[in-house]
Amino acid sequence: MSQKQSSPDQADQAHQASIPTTTPATWLGVMGGGQLGRMFAHAAQAMGFKVAVLEQEEDCPAGQVADRLIRTSYTDAKGLEELASLCGAVTTEFENVSADSLAALAAKTYVAPSAAGVSIAQDRIAEKRFFVDCSAGSGVQPAPHKIIASEADIEAISSDLLPGILKTVRMGYDGKGQVRVRSIADVKAAFAEMKGVTCLLEKMLPLAYEVSVLVARGADGAAVVYPIAENVHRDGILFTTTVPSDHVSDAVAKKAQDAALAIIAKLDYVGVLCIEFFVLTDGALVVNEMAPRPHNSGHYTIDACITSQFEQQARAMARLPLGDVRQHSPAVMLNILGDIWYEGESENMREPAWDKILALPGAHLHLYGKAQARRARKMGHITFVAPTMAQAQAQLAAACAILGIAL
């Protein structure tokens, strides 16, 4: 599904600014050294680009494969200057990179997505306000919510907002910075536990399932949207992503995709954006949050789509035409956490049986090069592709049995 929103003048300007790919000296830059940067580097290098990564840690997943690692903090002026002078375009693989740093880079090179777009996603209050502003065009609202910045705000909570989830406004991900609350007393205790930082209380809604929409937009205004993914979380961390899902009706899929296209257009965003939605038990659609980068739920695109989310990000950064988002095979993605290196509840560790995993038809193993496995740490993922979803699900079940993961 695609959408074109550009004038001939805009298209000409984008063409004139496009980065040539005929020379191996063409560099793309990444702020952040995690696994998303690693997979981006693989995709960009396959297209003929060189990749520079700015990250303080030496043995980081992206740095292991990058053509150059600039070892500085995300706010170091000299490091930012080196990245900007080297690269024809820069992106971020981590939404909590300083928006000020992205703005500084933008003064000297092309940055996608922009600091303005990233800053909205970094702040839950700004994000919710933005979603409300978008609702006239998207047709989708966020969950009822309230800002909690003081004890007085807690006392003023309306009873219809409870039970809810109290979330820190900034720096929360993978279930961190979130507490379920059922009463005013619970909110007070959670607020104190969070050291009184500004939070957002969101009403808990009757959730049927969660979906995410990957959407990409080019500098010329052209936009494409991937098939809808159904996500299952455990302890706040993504467990599986299934595409296509039997639960997602054509009507829900179209509404979510149309909403994603409206949101990315209003942001004037360039690059890959992931937007998470809740589908309620009555079929209603609610927008939850967005990530201004490729996303864990989009990893299936590497093995199951014509153009992966990471190649799409490189195309958008380089102001090249966006790629085909068609899915050629049903797919299920399984997150691999550090827990599977441990023998049960003990601290004894051993290597998982990758030979047995790779003997499964359609299994694609992606490990992230992290030196140490820790419980709840994302270490890799496996995507199962097959002619039918039933076959992909069967391989998922077999892999979980091998790895000792309960389904």
Q: Which domains does the chain have, with CATH numbers?
A: 2-122 (3.40.50.20), 144-203 (3.30.1490.20), 207-403 (3.30.470.20)
- Per residue in 144-154, pLDDT (tens digit) is 999 999 999 99
What integer pLDDT is reported at residue 6 of this predicted model? 41
Q: Residue 24: which pLDDT band, with cuts at 50, 70 and 90?
A: very low
Give yes or no for residue 3 having a pLDDT over 60.
no
Q: Is 202 annotated as ligand-binding?
A: yes
pLDDT of 19 reads: 54
Look at 20-29, 94-103, 176-185, 282-291 and tell me which has the smallest mean pLDDT. Answer: 20-29
- Please state, rounded to an integer, the average pLDDT across all residues of the chain: 93
- Residue 172: its pLDDT value, please? 62
As to burial, measured by CB atoms within 10 angstroms (0-12 exposed, 13-18 middle, 19+ buried), residue 284 is: middle
Q: What is the pLDDT of residue 92?
A: 97
29 and 108 Cβ atoms separated by less than 8 Å: no
Query: Is 178 a known ligand-binding residue?
Result: yes
pLDDT value at 212 more than 50: yes
- Residue 1: pLDDT band by 50, 70, 90 thresholds? low
3 is in an annotated binding site: no
Per-residue pLDDT at 63 exceeds 80: yes
List Cα–Cα distances, 360 to 245, 381, 392, 404, in angstroms: 22, 15, 10, 16
Mean pLDDT, rounded, for 260-271: 97
Q: Tokens 């990315």, residue? A: 264
351 labelled ligand-binding: no
Span of 11-20, 109-118, 166-175, 270-279 with lowest mean pLDDT: 11-20
The stretch 68-96 carries a mean pLDDT of: 96
349 is in an annotated binding site: no
State yes or no: pLDDT of 25 exceeds 80.
Answer: no
Average pLDDT over residues 15-42: 77
269 is in an annotated binding site: no
- When pLDDT is cut at 50, 70 and 90, the band that residue 77 belongs to is very high
pLDDT tier at 7, thresholds 50, 70, 90: very low
Q: State the CB neighbour count (10 A cutoff) for residue 368.
A: 19
pLDDT, tens digit, 9 for 90 and up, residues 283-321 = 999 999 999 999 999 999 999 999 999 999 999 999 999
The verdict on whether residue 167 carries a ligand-binding annotation is yes
pLDDT value, residue 360: 98
Q: What pLDDT is stored for residue 10 in this prediction?
A: 41
The average pLDDT across 369-385 equals 97
**Amino acid identity, position 87:** C
Tokens of 124: 């839950």
User: What's the chain's length in residues?
Assistant: 407
> What's the pLDDT at 358?
98
Q: How confident is the model at residue 350 (pLDDT cuts 50, 70, 90)?
A: very high
Point out the least confidently predicted range of 126-135, 175-184, 220-229, 365-374: 175-184
Please indicate if the annotation marks 360 as binding a ligand. no
In the predicted model, what is the mean pLDDT of residues 80-87? 97
pLDDT above 60 for 18: no
Q: Which long-range contacts (CB under 8 A, 24 or more apart) does 353-358 make?
A: 353/402, 353/403, 356/402, 357/382, 357/399, 357/402, 357/403
CA distances in angstroms from 124 to 99, 131, 298, 311, listed in the order given: 15, 10, 22, 28
Proportion of the chain above pLDDT 90, given as a percent: 90
pLDDT above 70 as % of the chain: 93
pLDDT at 95: 82
Q: Do the annotations mark residue 236 as ligand-binding?
A: no
Angle, helices 99-106/77-86, rounded to nearest 10 degrees: 40
CA 375 to the chain's CA centroid: 21
pLDDT at 403: 97
pLDDT in tens, 219-236: 999 999 999 999 999 998
Q: Is 379 annotated as a binding residue?
A: no
Does 345 show up as a binding residue in the annotation?
no
